[in-house]
Amino acid sequence: MRERENEVLDRIRRGQLYTESEANFQDPLRRADLIFEYNSTRPGDAPRRRKLLERILGSVGARTVLLSPFHAGFGSNVHIGDDFFGNVNLTLVDDMEIRIGNGVMIAPSVTLTTTGHPIHPGLREDFRRFSKPVVLEDKVWIGSNVVVLPGVRIGYGSVIGAGSVVSRDVPPMTVAMGVPCRVVREITDVP
């Protein structure tokens, strides 16, 4: 059995297709009950919320604020740096790693997804899918209702405008927006 699991994990790492049935051995890594508990915890109970986040996420930095509710497929594949702020309704589809740097701010109703599905319906049997990591480098700011798709890296200090769908990498120190998301200018202003 272990050999089959390793073969599936290898395909997942390479961004190749795999099915729900093939990947179900990973279900113990899901943190659904803990996420439910976090979302039900009083906002003022910071120590309890912090302990839960440490159990839910793969790693979590200092001075992290994550407002409820948030959702994650696993939780254990998410790594957040220091000084993070995540507003309400953050959805993390973390079949693969999501890495969030230091000083990142995320507005309400943002989705970061590492997973997509084939376009052809014949290839979507048993919820067949592919996964690629998502990376938000330090000091990124993501506006409301943004969707970041599998395999995207958003560079240091960049700003993603509200309502954008980010389907390709965004270079550092730029403002990008739209559907599809495109760079509209560099950030050159000095505070």
Evaluate whether 187 touches 161 at the Cβ level (below 8 Å).
no
The dihedrals phi and psi of 184, each to the nearest 5 degrees, come to -110, -20
174/103 Cα distance (integer angstroms): 16
The dihedrals phi and psi of 59, each to the nearest 5 degrees, come to -160, 150
Q: Mark whether 120 is an active-site residue.
A: no
Helix (H) or strand (E) holding 7: helix 2-13
Among the options 71, 79, 117, 120, which is catalytic? 117
Phi-psi category of residue 83: left, alpha or beta, with phi > 0 → left and psi -120 to 50 → alpha: left
CA atoms within 13 A on the CB side of 92: 33
139/151 Cα distance (integer angstroms): 19
16/56 Cα distance (integer angstroms): 27
Q: What is the CA radius of gyration of the chain?
A: 17
The catalytic residue positions are 117
